[in-house]
Structure 1
Amino acid sequence: MTQNVTVVMGQIDPIVGDISGNVDLIIEAAIRAKNESQADIIVFPEMTITGYPPEDLLLRDGLYPQINQALNRICEAVTDIVCVVGYPMMDELGERFNMAAWIEEGLIQASYMKQNLPNYSVFDEQRYFTAGHHPCVVEFNGIKFGILICEDIWKITPSTQARDAGADIILNLNASPFSEEKHQDRIATLQRRVDEIKKPIIYVNQVGAQDDLVFDGGSFAMCADGEVCVQAPEFKSELTAVKLVKQADSVVILEGQKSKLFEGEARIYEALKMGVKSYVQKNGFPGVILGLSGGIDSALTLAIAVDALGADNVEAVMMPFRYTAEISKEDAAQQAKTMGVKYQSIPIESMYSAFEVALAASFEGTETDLTEENLQARIRGTLLMAISNKAGKMVLATSNKSEVAVGYSTLYGDMVGGFSPLKDVPKTLVYRLAEYRNTLSECIPNRVITRPPSAELRPDQVDQDSLPDYDVLDTIVKQYVRLDKSPAEIVALGFDEEDVRKVIRLIDRSEYKRRQSAPGIKITQRAFGRDRRYPITSHYSE
């Protein structure tokens, strides 16, 4: 006898801690799935009720009565479609679990405890949760569904447990953050699982962003032969139907929607847009302001901000000084006009002179050095923060990962801001993203991309006065930060030992700056911040 079941992948964007709002999203999505797709089952991401990651909110006892109320609301409101939803639970002994509930006909008919608790990179689940040990398989309309949560699918045991308990298909609830190569890794991992268990898998992922993490969605259904039969879009909340047919002893996923995925720089650009949009809007800011210098970093940041928030919600400020080139002023003004943002120019010469007078006695007998360069940056930072305070708009910092790595930025100067979109974007990638953005519509003046980069803090300054070429710098940073290679191993790759030692020395001694920097969007497999936790005070060397 042939059995048919329609499962909807509920790829939604919850907000951490907004339990009531998240339940509204869940109920609304369940009703839509039933009405629009005649769905039998809707599957939501990992810990949808709280949003992910809730971090130390999980340590608050007051959280769990609210979760129980949320589950009751869902049970009362969703009775004509099965709802599979993720949430945290605390038992009577005070142990916490990462859970999934199977809600059918107004009752929690089954629940599953996540078994594999990731404790690497940005994940701290062993800080909060106790691991489960048992499979959960639920029969519906003749099909047996095994439930797994996120990391469980990356290990063999939970999926084989579910298969051995009779599962015909796996439902996998995820809150899997974006990185450059993550989606390909997911596909490859699930292909290994289906090859091992010979069962199809439905992979439902969260979408949106939370602080530094972007969740790209991209939910999909994989047939037992390893082919992706249904593909939801990336970077978009959407309900995507997956039609199942049980024939004899196997479940077949019918071919369905196959959304085109982004590739290369386009994927990264979409992640940066989503990160900015979510951070600004979820934190209630009416818009953003940034310093537009005529350089590549601020130019790309402006483009991302406008694409994420709309031109009416973005303001740019040029703050020229005696070393600011005319082409920088022209290019900044041109881009602001092209992108339709509010723009003003505030020269800082008079303010700098006032500081010189005030500091004359303190600086007497000393040579001009980095102090004067940093003073320029700090004046600009103060102006941006003043406008921010007055207008209520958040300042976007514009530093890139290459600068963040080696401390090529000024505390309380160009580092000021509430959010840093390019914090995990190496300088070489900044250029590629700028070129990509101009393929959509030309908004970044070409000479901003082609001229040598400069902070313009002294006459004829270029970045390479102080740093190796960015191709070299970014590769050394990647080898040391992301891959944990030793200096000797990096030199063995063909890099100049002096360059390697200099860059590593700068990385190590700049940790104190990074601790004081604004949060920024994680796009690589290892970003600075909670993804890479190094001591500020350290005498370690290799």
Structure 2
Amino acid sequence: MKIAMAQTNPVIGDFDFNIQAMIKRALEARALGCELIVFPELSISGYPPGDLLERNDFIDNQLNALQELIHSIRGIGVLCGVVNREICQGERRLFNSALLFEEQNILARTDKQLLPTYDIFDELRYFTPGPKSSLISYKGLNLGITICEDIWNDEAGLGQKHYDRNPVADLASLGADLFINIAASPFHGGKQDLRNTLLKKITAHYNRPLIFVNQVGGNDSTLFDGLSLALTAQGEVAARAMDFSEDLVVFDTTTQKGDCHGVSTTDDQAILKALVMGTRDYVTKCGFKQAIIGSSGGIDSALTAAIAVAALGRKNVKTIFMPSIYTSKQNIEDTKALALNLGISWQSIPIAPMYDAFLTLSDTFNPENPGITEQNIQARIRGTILMAFSNKEGSMLLATGNKSEMAVGYSTLYGDMCGGLAVIGDLPKKKVYEISRLINRERKTIPLSILEKAPSAELAPDQTDQDDLPSYDIIDAVVKAHVEDHQSIEDMVTQGLDRSTVNEIVQRITRNEYKRYQAPPILRVTAKAFGAGRRHPMAQRYRP
């Protein structure tokens, strides 16, 4: 049997858009001689729908869209992810389901059993776990169908269990001929290798082929890489879809062969693609076409601008340079050169007159030796200017702060933290440079002087970031250990980091939690980003 694997990029709640895309893919698959097309998890509603699932009208409209989909596709079977609703003793229950239909008839349904509640997931908030696994017979094959997390509990693949049930083992024991997993499996750096290893171990252990069909695209801060796969019973890749792009590939269960499309070859390439895709999807799915960026002459705003151009096109990106009395001539030239290289609009608005006006408010303000207050005034003037242009022109302001700065609070609320999206807010400073150099390998986009200069906020005379902070290499190491790996201070000291420096950085991370709660959504590319997947209290007194 020829099976089409369709990785789609749904818009959450745009049921008509989503099913029209599915109908188009089904027609393509039918023309290729496929007997079955497989779509991702919750492909009609989009994933994750969050608290929209608490609205009965949302569920009603999704079920209506499902009926339209069922009646619109002929000549090919369809397996897709849907929200199912049941009323049991007056209580509404929702299920995250996979539905198989053909020629306007629903043939089978299976419900997701393992509902994750860690990191960005909160599925037990909405769904009821499905019953124990059973096989679905179709075209002479016994299909073992699972949904995303259902495969992330197999000891053969992971070496450990997190749930009591193991749907994969259950389906294997029942005699499944082919495993199919429909998923909305989010991306982060290193996730692709982890996922591929898991899938290969499962197929090799149970000696059965496996089809994995994943959602692609960005929904809010969560990014999905696609990279759908078909593996032989020996764990070899037989078919593979592109990463970070909608795609359709065909796998033949008889020959165990299929289409293999190109994907990223390094983690940095994948992260760059993820950020471009995430920026494009967030801006456009929110109803915007254009973006505006405060260009400082530094590496962060340069990388953000380059990503925005790749995502939205040069005609849809504008940069505004807002020099102060502390701004160097080099930064003026660098912002011009960057805009020229990118082919985007550049505008200069000096902030000195506005800054002087603010300083007249109080005798305590000191322009000769600006402290935190005076520095923050400058940042907030810039934020106000950028938001004014965003409002006037209907463009989305992209914040330019990186993860290292966000972690230690080296950012100004209502200043440089203004914006609708923090594009590189999950990139440590070291990774900012690595991704920028990757961009420059194909074309010298970011001026060399931007890559080589010392980072500076330029809010005081001769200022550099390292006047106020430990080195970024150390900050990055502590942030990864503390935020992503949940290591203790003792763990970090044992690994050779200086105790007083670690203490300072961890205290900064804790103290600045309130700022991050007010930050724009951050595109997630690491295992633990600031945002939905990290839920730390702001008013608390625990100090490690």
Shorter chain as normaliser: what TM range?
over 0.9
1:226 and 2:235 aligned: yes
AA aligned opposite 2:495: L
Q: What SS does the corresponding residue of 1:360 show, helix, strand or coil?
A: coil
Question: Which of 334, 338, 343 is the matching residue for 1:335?
Answer: 338
Give the direction of change, closer, same or farther, for the CA distance of 1:205–1:365 in structure 2 (3 Å limit). Answer: closer
Q: Distance in 2 between matches of 1:364 and 1:321?
A: 15
Q: In the alignment, does 2:46 pair up with 1:51?
A: yes
Corresponding position of 1:88: 83
Q: Retained in 1: the 8 A contact 2:322–2:351?
A: yes
Segments of 5+ residues of structure 2 without an aligned counterpart are 155-165
What displacement does 1:259 show? Answer: 2.5
Identical residues among aligned pairs (%): 42
Instruction: Name the SS of the counterpart of 1:203 in structure 2.
Output: strand
Amino acid paired to 1:318? F
Tell me whether 297-306 or 134-143 shows the greater mean CA deviation: 134-143
Residue correspondence of structure 1 range 433-472 to structure 2 within 5 A: 433-472=435-474
Q: What value does the CA root-mean-square deviation take over the aligned residues?
A: 1.5
For the residues of structure 1 that align with 2:94 and 2:384, how far apart are their CA atoms?
45
The amino acid that maps onto 1:465 is: D
Measured against aligned partners, the alpha-carbon deviations of 1:110-152 in whole angstroms (never above 9, x if no partner) come to 0000011111010001111111122242222222222110011
Partner of 1:76: 71
Paired with 2:227 and 2:367, the residues of 1 have a C-alpha distance of 62
Alignment partners' CA distance in 1, 2:264 and 2:301? 28
Matched with 2:476 is: 474
Match of 1:416 among 401, 415, 418: 418
TM score, norm. by length of structure 2: 0.95
| TM superposition shift of 1:72 | 1.2
1:12 is matched with: 8
Specify which of 15, 27, 36 is matched with residue 23 of structure 2: 27
Query: For residues 365-384 of structure 1, what are the alpha-carbon distances to aligned partners after superposition, in whole Å with 9 as ceiling and x for unaligned?
Result: 99741100011100000000
- 1:500–1:142: structure 2 CA closer, same or farther, 3 Å change rule? same
Give the residue type in structure 2 aligned to 1:86: G
Q: How far, CA to CA, are the matches of 2:445 and 2:455 in structure 1?
A: 18
Gaps of 5+ in 1: 246-251
Q: Is the 8 A contact 1:150 1:176 kept in 2?
A: yes
Q: Secondary structure at the match of 2:526?
A: coil
Q: Residue 395 of structure 1 contacts residue 418 of structure 1 at CA under 8 Å; is this kept in 2?
A: yes
* 1:64 equivalent among 59, 62, 81: 59
Residues 369, 144 of structure 1: alpha-carbon distance in 2 compared, 3 angstrom cutoff: same
Matches within 5 A, 1:167-182: 167-182=176-191
Deviation at 1:195, TM superposition (A): 2.7
Deviation digits for residues 62-83 of structure 1, max 9, x if unmatched? Answer: 1222122122112111121000
Q: Which residue of 2 aligns with 1:212?
A: 221
Any residues of structure 2 matched to 1:256-271 within 5 Å, and which? 256-271=259-274
Segments of 4+ in structure 1 off by > 6 A?
364-367
- Opposite residue 280 of structure 1, the aligned amino acid is V
* Inter-partner Cα distance in structure 2 for 1:492 and 1:95: 49
Rounded to whole Å, the distance in 1 between the matches of 2:11 and 2:366 is: 54
Q: Distance in 2 between matches of 1:261 and 1:373?
A: 41
Q: What displacement does 1:483 show?
A: 0.9
Aligned to 1:282: 285
In structure 2, distance between residues paired with 1:383 and 1:97: 47
CA positional deviation for 1:277: 0.2
Q: 1:300 to 1:243 in 2, by over 3 A?
A: same
Q: Give the deviation of 1:307 after TM superposition.
A: 0.7
Distance of aligned partners of 1:404 and 1:365 in 2 relative to their CA distance in 1, 3 Å threshold: closer
Separation in 2, partners of 1:350, 1:364: 15
> Among residues 226, 238, 249, which one is paired with 1:240 in the alignment?
249
Q: How does 1:398-409 map to 2 (within 5 A)?
A: 398-409=400-411
SS in 2 for 1:517: coil
- Superposed counterparts of 1:312-461, under 5 Å: 312-357=315-360, 359-361=361-363, 363=365, 368-461=370-463
After the TM superposition, which residues 21-170 of structure 1 pair with which residues of structure 2 at under 5 Å, given as runs?
A: 21-35=17-31, 37-93=32-88, 94-156=92-154, 157-170=166-179
| Equivalent residue letter for 2:359 | E
Aligned amino acid, residue 267 of structure 2: G
The answer to whether structure 1 residue 309 and structure 2 residue 286 are counterparts is: no
SS in structure 2 of the partner of residue 396 of structure 1:
strand
Match of 1:183 among 185, 189, 192: 192
Amino acid at match of 1:222: L
Alignment partners' CA distance in 1, 2:257 and 2:243: 21
Task: Work out the CA distance in 1 between the residues paired with 2:450 and 2:368.
Answer: 35
Shift in Å, 1:262:
3.6
Give the Cα separation in 1 of the matches to 2:369 and 2:470: 26
- TM-score for the superposition, normalised by structure 1: 0.96
Check conservation: 1:159, 1:197, Cα contact below 8 A.
no
1:163 shift after superposition: 2.1
How many angstroms does 1:436 deviate by?
0.5
- Aligned equivalent of 1:249: none
| Alpha-carbon distance in structure 2 between the residues aligned to 1:260 and 1:95 | 39
Q: Does 1:203 align with 2:212?
A: yes
Call closer, same or farther: CA 1:328–1:132 in 2, change over 3 Å.
same
Q: Secondary structure at the match of 2:119?
A: coil
What does the per-residue CA deviation read over 1:499-533, in whole Å, with 9 as the maximum and x for residues that have no partner? 10100000000000000000010000000111111
Displacement after TM superposition at 1:462 (Å): 0.8
- 1:36-63 CA-partner distances (Å, limit 9, x unpaired): x111100000000100000011111112
